[in-house]
Amino acid sequence: MSSRRRAPSRGRFLLAALACAALAGCALLHHEPEIPPFVEATFATKPFKSYTIPTPAPGTIPTESVIGAVGAYRVRQGDTFMDVARYFDLGFNEIVEANPGIDPWIPPVGTTLVLPTAWVLPCCTYEGLVLNIPEMRLYYYRRGPGGTTTVITHPVGLGRDDRRTPRGSFTVRGKTVNPTWIIPPSIRQEHITERGDARTSIPGGAEDNPLGKYRLELSISPYSIHGTDIPWGIGMLVSHGCARLYPEDIARLFPLVPVGTPGQFVYQPVKIGMRGGASWLEADEDIYRYRPPLAPRAVATLKKLGVAADGAHLRAAIGTSHGVPVKLKPG
């Protein structure tokens, strides 16, 4: 986990929480009592959601490009942020950022946690696989009936700062069940130095195979999208550059993605979209410190939407968002 992920101040968090409630269109929802204890069998059967947006013309932003709704969960005895994040399909980074000041390992029983389960879609490709690196989240778009597109989204774990997940376009060139991991020489040397492990490969199906059970092989070798043997690394910078998903998430995604599917690794710390005729902004941490000019890019996106933008207001919204969509003032 990158320790650089910053928690917003309490005042900023409260503003974001109010924005969450407005975005959800109703009061925040408490957890459902029937959720069973957080064990592997529970995660394997956790609920999944998909979303529908109008299919936009190429290079344009959909008229509805904010998906999901923010919810809430009341902490039970023995819960950790990792448990709650995994059940609600969030990365550890997302739930920590949305709930500053609360101990992620021993949260007080009865505390109500914000579930940041609403997202602005990255601009401006709405086909195939799109992974937005700063938010550590993958989106998969499939054409639906009547000019619609179905969106599935999952959190991911990405490359460490010294082995960054790259930006760029790709296609899915292959799919493997129980892939064998052929350990690259540089990583093998790292394993020898750190723990005396000189193996050159780890067979498919092995408990310590970091690829998990399913792998989507990409045209930008050696990178891939795959499962993991350490689910708690989702929402952290822990890999050697590949994208890791929760085991149950990759099991869901794997059969849906055909070979030849196009994709992109994009880097958008600030995203702007539309919902209900209003514009919304979501800002995430610049995890690799590329320092893109955030406000000017946000202004350019708003111009594509035909929406006037005030730079000062945009900068204030960027400072308030911290991974939660916030509504922008008109004009």
Whether pLDDT at 21 is above 80? no
Buried b vs exposed e over 243-278: b needs ≥16 C-beta within 10 Å?
bbbbbbbbebbbeebeeebebbbbbbbbbbbbbeee
Residue 260 per-residue DSSP state:
T
Residue 185 per-residue DSSP state:
H
Ramachandran region, residue 313 (left: φ > 0; alpha: ψ -120 to 50; beta: rest):
alpha
Q: Quickly state the pLDDT bin for 28 (edges 50, 70, 90).
A: very low
3-state secondary structure (DSSP) of residue 275:
strand
Buried b vs exposed e over 31-53: b needs ≥16 C-beta within 10 Å?
beeeeeebeeeebeeeeeeebeb
Tracing tokens 């109010």 back to the chain, one arrives at 18
Give one DSSP letter per residue of 105-138, joined into a string.
Answer: SSPPTTPEEEE--EEEPPSS--SEEEEETTTTEE
Structure tokens at 145: 């009936």
Model pLDDT, residue 322: 74
Residue 157 per-residue DSSP state:
B
Lowest mean pLDDT among 117-126, 179-188, 282-291: 179-188
* 198/325 Cα distance (integer angstroms): 46
Q: Is the peptide bond before 116 cis (omega within 30 degrees of 0)?
A: no
Most confident by average pLDDT, 108-117, 189-198, 204-213: 108-117
Task: List the Cα angle 58/289/265 in 5-degree steps.
Answer: 30
Task: List the Cα angle 38/239/216 in 5-degree steps.
Answer: 85
Model pLDDT, residue 295: 66
Tracing tokens 């601009």 back to the chain, one arrives at 123
Q: Quickly state the pLDDT bin for 328 (edges 50, 70, 90).
A: confident
Whether pLDDT at 20 is above 90? no
Q: Which residues contact 160 (CB under 8 A, 6 or more apart)?
A: 237, 238, 239, 240
Model pLDDT, residue 52: 96
State mean pLDDT over 88-114.
94
Q: Quickly state the pLDDT bin for 12 (edges 50, 70, 90).
A: very low
Q: Quickly state the pLDDT bin for 320 (edges 50, 70, 90).
A: confident
Task: List the Cα angle 12/17/22 in 5-degree steps.
Answer: 125
Q: Which tens digit of pLDDT belongs to each residue from 165-174?
A: 999 999 999 9
Question: In terms of DSSP H, where are the helices of the chain?
Answer: 10-24, 40-44, 81-87, 92-98, 185-195, 247-253, 294-304, 311-321
* 158/242 Cα distance (integer angstroms): 6
- In the residue annotation, 242 being an active-site residue is answered as yes
Dihedral, CA atoms, 66, 72, 77, 79, nearest 10 degrees?
10
Q: Quickly state the pLDDT bin for 309 (edges 50, 70, 90).
A: low
Could you give phi then psi for residue 319, rounded to 5 degrees? -70, -20
Lowest mean pLDDT among 15-24, 44-53, 169-178, 314-323: 15-24
State mean pLDDT over 177-192.
81
Structure tokens at 257: 């993605």
More confident residue, 291 or 227: 227
More confident residue, 184 or 31: 184
Q: Annotated catalytic residue: which of 20, 31, 154, 226?
A: 226
Distances in whole angstroms, Cα of residue 324 to Cα of each of 2, 115, 117, 139, 247: 19, 10, 9, 17, 25
State mean pLDDT over 228-235.
94
CB atoms within 10 A of CB 222: 12
Q: Annotated catalytic residue: which of 31, 154, 242, 322?
A: 242
Structure tokens at 290: 């590329």
